Amino acid sequence: MGEGKPSVALITGAAQGIGKEVARRFAQEGFFVALLDQNVQNLHAVEESLKSEHYQAKAFSVDITKSKDVEEIIDDIEKNIGPIECLANVAGVLRMGKTVELSDEDWAATFAVNTTGVFVMSRTVSRYMINRRRGSIVTVSSNAGHMPRIDMAAYASSKAAATMFTKCLGLELAQFGIRCNVVAPGSTNTDMLKLLWEDEKGEENLIKGSLDTYKTGIPLHKIATPSDIAEAVLFLSSDKAGHITMNSLCVDGGATLGV
């Protein structure tokens, strides 16, 4: 580590929702947060908000599926800001629809961000972590990654792939002291979730569940907040989880019944 350089936490999908809250929590823990997203307006708003509270933050607009662009930004961060100690892969997209109706573009776009983006980011950052023989990578997946969902074949499949990739990476990097884990949220109060609500009873219906779609309700009788997920990411990234790797922590209020 360079003299006087801060420890960096890099968060993808930092412009909104879970990613925004993950960034805030890392900042509160004293990290310099590198904020990555394609939503430039929201991304810079998050940066300015954090700076106004005297936290260290910098926004980087990037398509995380583009290896060359990602490599340039990671190199810039490592050289000019500080060592990336923690990577949180939070960026995600959702394309709904029955499998027979999904377009090639729907499928490709879903996997590009949810799976390829995780691969590109993790591969690039881990090269630097290996040299230092330390670091933590956490991928925010989904409980849909291990539970079939109607109308969510592309999303669930991409999250399942990201989950297994992260575990395989954790096995490869364990010898270097680098830990790789997964947080698998259930229904969380974000704009993405609200797109699925058909009416003002959307939250109530999620909590109750639906026999027609083979989906259980939420035993804790509430949906998660972005903070619930961020705390799990922070824990797995911290020294408190120093002997945890290749693990998946489901944060869904019991919606998948611990399966």
> Which residues are catalytic, by number?
155
Are the C-beta atoms of residues 81 and 8 closer than 8 Å to each other? yes
Q: Assign 59 to helix, strand or coil.
A: strand
| Cα atoms found within 13 Å of the Cα of residue 172, Cβ hemisphere only | 13
Q: Tell me which H or E stretch contains 9.
A: strand 8-12
Q: Is the dihedral angle over the CA atoms 162, 165, 171, 172 positive or is it negative?
A: negative
Q: Assign 79 to helix, strand or coil.
A: helix
To which residue do tokens 């209020």 refer? 253
CA–CA separation, 205 and 187 (whole Å): 11
Are the C-beta atoms of residues 125 and 86 closer than 8 Å to each other? no
To which residue do tokens 């590109």 refer? 120
Give the DSSP letter string of 123-148: HHHHHHHHHHT-EEEEEE--GGGSS-
Q: Assign 19 to helix, strand or coil.
A: helix
